[in-house]
Amino acid sequence: MIEEFRLPDLGEGLTEAEVVQWLVVPGDTVTLNQTLAEVETAKAVVELPSPYEGVVSALHAEAGETVAVGSPLITFDVAGAEPAPSAQATDAEEKAQPNLVGYGAAPSSGGRPVRRARRAAASQSVSADAAVIEAAPHDALPPSAAEPVVGERPRSTPPVRAHAKRLGVDLVLVAAEIGDRTITRADVDAYAERVGARASGASASSAPASPAPAVSSASVGERAQTRIPIRGVRKHTAQAMVRSAFTAPHVTCFHTVDVTATMELIEQLRADRSLSEHRIGPLVLVAKAVCMALGRNPSLNATWDEEAGEIIENHFVDLGIAAATDRGLIVPIIRDAERLSLTGLADALAQLTRTARSGRTSPAELAGGTFSITNIGVFGIDAGTPILPPGQSGILAVGAVRRQPWEHDGQIALRRMMTLSVSFDHRLVDGAEGSRFLKDVADLLEQPGRAMLY
């Protein structure tokens, strides 16, 4: 029986997704909930589990292609699947029903899809170095052997897989060279350089290369340009920022803060062995100060509901932390941040950073948010005018900590200074309210002991 799997609704009103890479090819036998492909939505890279047990008949999109929700993605021959030895006919019929992990189904078996090795035709007149293999559609560069190593999916992070896709490198072949360890960006670059050198010396009879990667550049000698398709997170971010900039009237206030006492507190906390497992830095203290200041200034933690004609003040803080990744800017959320202790915030920030860098932030972790922080200080920048994430009334930019001469206790002293920049929606936040919020955050950072008064 032939079953067609269409791209499901991945949540949050997303209407399309780009196929990052296929993990199966036609002819593979897969089991329920095994990963078929990685797709990139406007918010995250998502693994698609198989809704059927059966044999892959056809793939309806290539790696790099954007697919609309509801469009055919993959076809299965369910009747061609071999049932488990103890399975009865009724069980096989139940397994044939589409049940995705995350949509209410429990997996019937684990593991990854197993690919069938394919031998090159005997009449193929190419050298071993330029031999062509049948593999996933994203494979492009010629391998170093006539037969691929087949088995488990190579270990790597989504940014590395995306980089390999852009270069046309098959990670299976990289794994065969480096052994059983996680593939890095350097491994991909080294493999591409080696194979590129071999390919340049191959004869004209060598097999044609696969389609060029999506990123294109002008040839050497011309006035160089690089064309990068606008899609995925970059496309979503651009649309959201334009919508926000031309919908909410932005106002930005700046305040330079003496954070010497905060930095001294951080040094004391880091020296405490009982806190060694928690990475407490300036951003953690800023996040704590923001949560406390929002309690006193609820208009900065609100949403403008145009349709209902209402201002919705939130009595909780879902704190967004802007993160720069290889895929673009994302803003994952720390839920109920106001309830977390200093160490709880530190742990949440550390986990958020690890997940974002690995490219594994899910759409659910990016949804919502009532107020955001962007840490431009890590780039050595002092101040900026951040754009509000859609639906939020405030965002705080945190500048770099610098030693500067400053008036302190009636004298000029070398102090550690930080500039804070808060942008807010002037429809629901007056200048006085925005200024009070910024002053509250500054006071808490100038004198951390004031937190005892809140």
Contact between 414 and 255 under an 8 Å Cβ cutoff? The reply is no
Q: Check: CATH 3.30.559.10 for 234-453?
A: yes
Catalytic one among 60, 250, 255, 426? 426
Q: Tell me the C-alpha distance between 412 and 194, whole Å.
A: 60
Contact between 352 and 332 under an 8 Å Cβ cutoff? The reply is yes
Higher pLDDT, 9 or 88: 9
| Mean of per-residue pLDDT scores for the chain | 78
Q: Is 410 left (phi over 0), alpha (psi -120 to 50) or beta?
A: left
> Residue 420: exposed, middle, or buried by beta-carbon count in 10 A (0-12, 13-18, 19+)?
buried
**Interior CA angle at 366 toward 363 and 370, to 5°?**
145
Output Rg (C-alpha) for the chain, integer angstroms. Answer: 27
pLDDT digits (tens, 9 = 90+) for 200-245: 444 333 333 334 444 555 555 567 777 777 776 667 777 777 778 7
pLDDT digits (tens, 9 = 90+) for 308-346: 889 999 999 999 999 887 777 889 999 999 999 999 999
pLDDT of residue 215: 53
Query: Is there a catalytic annotation at residue 163?
Result: no
How many Cβ atoms are within 10 Å of 75's Cβ, its own excluded? 18
At residue 11 the predicted structure's pLDDT band, cuts being 50, 70 and 90, is low
pLDDT of residue 191: 82
**Sequence spans of domains, the chain:** 2-95, 128-218, 234-453
Kindly tell me if the per-residue pLDDT of 198 is higher than 60.
Answer: no
For the 2-95 domain, the top CATH level (class) is mainly beta
pLDDT of residue 218: 53
Q: Smallest Cα–Cα separation from 254: which of 376, 379, 427, 405?
A: 376
Q: Tell me the C-alpha distance between 13 and 371, whole Å.
A: 21
Higher pLDDT, 444 or 359: 444
pLDDT of residue 372: 97
Q: Tell me the C-alpha distance between 192 and 186, whole Å.
A: 10
Is the pTM for the entire model greater than 0.85? no
pLDDT of residue 426: 94
pLDDT of residue 112: 39
pLDDT digits (tens, 9 = 90+) for 383-429: 999 999 989 999 999 999 999 999 999 999 999 999 999 999 999 99
How many Cβ atoms are within 10 Å of 352's Cβ, its own excluded? 19
